[in-house]
Structure 1
Amino acid sequence: MSDVDLPPIEIEVPAELGSLGDLRAIVVGFARRVGFRDQFDVEVVASELVTNAIVHAGTAPIVTLTQVGHRRMEIAVADEDPRSPGPVDPYENGTRGHGLAIVATLSRTWGVRREGGSGKTVWAEVEEQRPLRLVDGCGPGAQAARPLGPRADPLRRA
């Protein structure tokens, strides 16, 4: 857990999808230092943003990780392609087109910044979510899931 503001870190990622494993390890380490107990969301968001940059821009993206609060961080991916990312119907493209929908679902907010030059930065702010538990079973008539409290037993029914 971190109560200290961490300085941002910048990583140049080779323009090869095989380099994503090393990037994910760096992102997970930074997220732990920011206080994330579960790093899944930041790992997936970083992977999706960098994959998009490599596939669509074809250049080595620059990833910047910035702490924006306790258990909250920004993942920014700069590339040299001036085109903004846009929604793609994944059902028309087979297995492609889910990336930005995944980023939008897992992040608090996301967007695109133009910072001079010919490229762009696609960023997402991710905040660790409290885990959910089912309250009254599942199926017809079930109540909605509720966030777990800090000392709640996930196996105990409310």
Structure 2
Amino acid sequence: MQGRRILLLFGIGLLVTAAAASLVPAPESPREGVESGEPQTAGAGSADDAAVEIAFSANSAGQPADGAERRESSIPAEPPTKTAGSGERVIVTVTSRDPGQVSLDGLGLVESVGPGTPAVFDLFTDSTGEFDVLYAPVEGGERRVGTLAVVSGDPSATATPSGG
């Protein structure tokens, strides 16, 4: 008798859950590039280039984070090179509409990227040199989307012309 009551209560619970689920409308997925909040980019690059964006943010170690200079760019035909001084805090953010992996070549750092999930690298520049930012979509075909150049001393004295 007790088992029947438990089964009856369980069945009623399932019916209530099914009824509630049928009353809630299914979520609508936004069309590509419409109402998604993703920036639209135009330029001489290919369609794949417009799908990936990179942002650099750098400030000196003693400077507060709100004083950081923020430099952003979508990937043009020639990926940007950003210069930072040794000992600065640098934040590299890569966003993409397609899932994949982003790595900082030479530093051994790898992050996943996808729609709504940017790859974020927050680091202090203690090593000098040029470090490529590489994007590898799930479909394959790794490519350079930017370069972080770390110099000793004042980075404004050795700024590259492609930096913005």
TM-score normalised per structure 1: 0.31
Structure (1 or 2) with the greater helix fraction: 1
Structure (1 or 2) with the greater strand fraction: 2
Greater C-alpha radius of gyration: 2
